[in-house]
Amino acid sequence: MSLENMLIVGAILFVIGLYGALARRNVLVVLMSIELMFNAVNLTLVAFAKYVAPAGLAEDLTQNIGGVLTGQVFAIFIITVAAAEIALGLGIVFAMYRSTGSIDLSEATQLRN
Amino acid sequence: MLVQDIVFWILAVAVIGAALGVVLVKDLFHSVLLLVVVFIGVAGFFVMMSAEFLGVVQVLIYAGAVSILVIFAIMLTRDVQRGNLPNRIQMPALVLSALLLATLVWTATQTEWDRIEEGQRDRVDLVQTSSVSLVTDETLQASGFLTGEEQAAARQAGLADLLIGDFVLPFEAVSVLLLAAVIGALALVRTR
């Protein structure tokens, strides 16, 4: 387990999520793919927090002791935003299902027609 | 080290396989269950990278709340029979994803990262795990925090201290965002 391994796992997870978000017709699959991408980013941030030195670490750790936790704090914020996103996203899915009777993105063309 | 490597590869294979399943499996219900596998695997990665608090939060919020919400959505929309179909831009999306993966892997392997030196490893690990472990004088000294000043700084450092210290403004902004999301979700699903 090294920094590169973690980054590559994060990259693969992100790319799978990107493909799912772009190439699938079902809204719920798109939402799940976006959650995959959030998870990949969190994984990368935590890997950087664990393996990469923040500024000032080499001279004196105590001067910038919070720096080694910054990546984890970012991940907490991303988890919060992701929770808000999934709540709103599912609200939109329900509204769409009620008005069109379908959750197929290819049929969501009310704004175009 | 060897045990860590074995656990890493098992988790990596499980997470990537389950993520592929989420996107490719026909049955939506199965993809949510695979999504839970991804979430728990990522929580395992967090624990391996001394982010135990994040691992717990990941299991609570993602594997607990988010997956249950998605299962509810699948049950309520009754569009499950049609399954998980691709749309017309499948090939461009595949090419774009492959190119992005190549770029990311190239960047990750070619960059000279400014790594934490081995001498600092124990100290960094102690600070990162301090939110879930008992920090005593003995553990501080064993990790290399020798003087009183250093020990005081290590005791004070932690996620909570950062959240209501350096990051207090984003913290408050995120609170307002959550409130807005709750109100927005209620407004969206309200029947007139």
Global pTM value: 0.90
Tell me the domains of chain A and their CATH numbers. Answer: 3-107 (1.10.287.3510)
Task: State the complex-level ipTM.
Answer: 0.91
| Closest Cα in chain B, distance from residue A111 (Å) | 18
Residues B119, B135: Cα–Cα separation, whole Å: 20
- Alpha helices (runs of H) in chain A, residue ranges in sequence order: 3-23, 27-51, 70-100
Short-list A89, A17, A35, CA closest to B93: A17
Q: Which positions 26-45 of A are in contact with B (Cβ < 8 Å)?
A: 26, 28-29, 31-33, 35-36, 39, 42-43
Which two structure tokens, joined as six digits, stand for A29? 């699959």
Q: Residue B79 is nearest to which of A3, A20, A103, comparing CB atoms?
A: A103
What pLDDT does B161 receive? 82
Positions in chain A short of pLDDT 50: none
Q: Which sign does the torsion angle of CA B184, A92, B63, A8 carry?
A: negative
3-state helix, strand, coil in chain B (%, to 5): 80, 0, 20
Chain length of chain B: 192
Give the pLDDT confidence score for residue A65 in this predicted structure.
75
Instruction: Mention every residue, 6+ apart, whose C-beta is less than 8 A from residue B21.
Output: B30, B31, B34
Helix (H, G, I), strand (E, B) or coil at A59: coil
Residue B81 pLDDT = 66
Q: Does B14 touch chain A (CB under 8 A)?
A: no
Tell me if chain B has a CB within 8 Å of the CB of A107.
no
Q: Which conformational region is residue B114 in: left (phi greater than 0), alpha (psi within -120 to 50 degrees), or beta?
A: beta
b/e burial code for range A56-83 (CB count within 10 A of at least 16 → b): ebeeebbebbbbbbbbbbbbbbbbbebb
Give CA–CA dist A29/B22, Å, rounded: 8
Looking at residue A61, its pLDDT comes to 67
What's the pLDDT score for residue A1?
74
Amino acid at B24: L
Kindly give, in sequence order, each residue whose CB lies less than 8 Å from that of residue B7, ignoring residues fewer than 6 positions away. B44, B48
**Are residues A39 and B62, on separate chains, in Cβ contact within 8 Å?**
yes
Distances in whole angstroms, Cα of residue B126 to Cα of each of B65, B139, B145: 30, 8, 10
pLDDT tens over chain B, length 192 residues: 789 999 999 999 999 999 999 999 988 889 999 999 999 999 999 999 988 999 999 999 999 999 999 998 888 887 666 777 787 888 999 999 999 999 999 999 998 888 887 777 777 888 888 777 777 777 777 777 777 777 777 777 778 888 888 899 999 999 999 999 999 988 888 876
pLDDT at A29: 92
Token couple for B145: 């925090």
| Structure token pair of residue B163 | 């959240």
Distance, in Å, from the CA atom of A51 to the CA atom of A40, rounded to the nearest integer, reads 17
Are B69 and B181 spatial neighbours (Cβ–Cβ below 8 Å)? no
Q: Residue A60: what pLDDT? A: 67
Q: Is B49 on the interface with A (CB under 8 A)?
A: yes
Distance of alpha carbon B22 from alpha carbon B70, whole angstroms: 13
Q: Which class for B184: exposed (0-12), middle (13-18), buried (19 or more C-beta within 10 A)? A: middle
Q: Is the CB of B115 less than 8 angstroms away from the CB of A3?
A: yes
User: Is the separation of the CB atoms in B28 and B67 below 8 Å?
Assistant: no
A11 vs B contacts (CB less than 8 Å): 101, 104-105, 108
Nearest-Cα distance to chain A for B50, in Å, is 7
Contact B129, B159 (CB under 8 A): no
Chain A residues touching residue B5 (CB < 8 angstroms): 1
Residues 6+ apart with CB under 8 A from B74: A28, B28, B29, B32, B80
**Structure tokens, A63:** 């001067």
pLDDT of residue A58: 63
Angstrom CA distances, A26 to A58, B39, B42, B65, stand at: 49, 21, 24, 21
pLDDT at A74: 93
